[in-house]
Amino acid sequence: MATAQWTEHRVERPAVSAHPLAWYIAAGVVTTGLQELIFLAARPLIQSVAANILAIALTTLANTEFQRRVTFAGMRASAWRLHLQSAGTFAFYAGYGSVVLMSLRAVVPAPSATLEAVVLAATSALGGILRFALLRWWVFTTQERAPRSVT
């Protein structure tokens, strides 16, 4: 009797691939750059806190999907933890970035959009360290996904 096997589509990394931390950093640099471009484009139209939240909303899901498919490819992930982590990432960066922008305005009464973007990029880098730890040790486990079989 034949057994059908169902597997999820995922990106396979080559055997000599970079360490997950290298993929994570590369994705973080690209995502942060994209966030800053969106922020700087939106900043003349809306206030800085709203521009930051918009930029985060547009990039968080794409970054999380990249992390799932490439950085942590082959690792088992709990769906609810992945969704909770995405929502938590958005909330964390939106709140953290808003507090940082308001604190910057307390120190520099009229900061330029460029200064705000630089401060947000530094903020993002610090938050990224915490996010990597969360993804690596809570969302994705080290066990390989086993193919499901239907008899």
Q: Which residue has the higher pLDDT, 149 or 75?
A: 75
Residue 93 has which token pair? 């960066």
pLDDT at 4 over 80: no
- What is the pLDDT at residue 130? 79
- Full-model pTM: 0.70
Q: Are 60 and 93 in contact (CB under 8 A)?
A: yes
Query: For 24-82, what is each residue's pLDDT tens digit?
Result: 888 888 988 999 999 999 999 999 999 999 999 999 888 878 877 777 777 776 777 77
Q: What percent of the chain has pLDDT over 90?
A: 32
CA pair distance 140, 68, nearest whole angstrom? 8
Cβ partners under 8 Å of residue 80, min gap 6: none
| 17 confidence band (pLDDT: 50, 70, 90) | low
Calculated CA dihedral for residues 105, 111, 113, 117, nearest 10 degrees: -60
